Amino acid sequence: MGGRRPQRADARTNRERILNVAEEVFGKGGQSASTEEVARLANVGIATVFRHFPTKAALLEAVLVQRFDRLREQAETLFHAPDPGAAFFDFFSHLVADAAGKIAIAEALFEAGGDHDGDAAQASDGLRRAVGALLQHAQRVGAVRDDVELPEVYALLVATSRASARAHLEEEVRDRMLTIIFDGLAPLRNARAQLKT
């Protein structure tokens, strides 16, 4: 008994292609993009999609887990960067730029902050933790104000990601937006506090 044959080669490649196509399709059209379009662009029947991913939600979740994990790994790579300040700001910029045109990802990143459980929420949490570590390192070297905490920083990260996810936001405007936020995160604000009195 138990003589289970291994997965067939074509099944494996199909699953992978579906996942990649789904990332693009959901990225461009959001969660409301149709499963049929994913199948068509992957040169695959609709049934094949559902065979590999029992529901549309499962497919979306698989896409998200893949993406979140990838981002988390990138963040972890920067844990031991020589300049933690640059590491933090670079990762912030990179994530926001990366979100351009990735509607579903940005949305999910956003909602996963909440109550939903499941693999995607778990992966999202891992990313959040990694960002938290980057933030702490940056604060330790004085590149970021000590009095800011992860929740508001992450909220800003998510908000700007979502903002650049949809069209109509030129790269230049996005950068100027980030400049403002980065200025707000920088320390030495108290120069003004003394003035204000």
Q: Which of 75, 83, 167, 171 binds a copy of itself (CB under 8 A)?
A: 167
One of 4, 5, 8, 192 touching a copy of itself (CB under 8 A): 192
Residue 179 interacts with a copy of itself (CB under 8 A)? yes
Is 19 a binding residue for a copy of itself by CB under 8 A? The answer is no
User: Judged by CB, which is closer to a copy of itself: 17, or 166?
Assistant: 166
- The verdict on 28 binding a copy of itself (CB under 8 A) reads no
Quote the Cα angle for 43-71-152, to 5°: 130
* DSSP assignments along the chain, one per residue: ---PPPPPHHHHHHHHHHHHHHHHHHHHH-TTS-HHHHHHHTT--HHHHHHHSSSHHHHHHHHHHHHHHHHHHHHHHGGG-S-HHHHHHHHHHHHHHHHTT-HHHHHHHHHTTSS--SHHHHHHHHHHHHHHHHHHHHHHTTSS-TT--HHHHHHHHHHHHHHHHSSS--HHHHHHHHHHHHHHHSS-THHHHHHH-
**Residue with smaller CB distance to DNA, 32 or 197:** 32
* Minimum gap (Å) between residue 65 Cβ and a copy of itself: 20
Tell whether residue 174 is a contact of a copy of itself (CB under 8 A): yes
CB–CB of 177/163 below 8 Å? yes
Residue closer to DNA (CB basis): 11 or 173: 11
Question: Residue from 5, 10, 115, 146 that binds a copy of itself (CB under 8 A)?
Answer: 115
Least Cβ distance, residue 119 to a copy of itself (angstroms): 19
Residue 99: C-alpha distances to residues 119, 172, 189 (Å): 20, 15, 30
Positions that interact with DNA (CB under 7 A): 4-11, 14, 32-36, 43-48, 50-52, 54-57
Amino acid at 66: Q
> Binding of a copy of itself at residue 5 (CB under 8 A)?
no
Based on the shown chain and the rule CB under 8 A, indicate whether residue 146 belongs to the binding site for a copy of itself.
no
Binding-site ranges for a copy of itself (CB under 8 A) = 110-111, 113-115, 148-149, 151-153, 155-156, 158-160, 162-163, 166-170, 173-174, 176-177, 179-186, 188-189, 191-192, 195-196
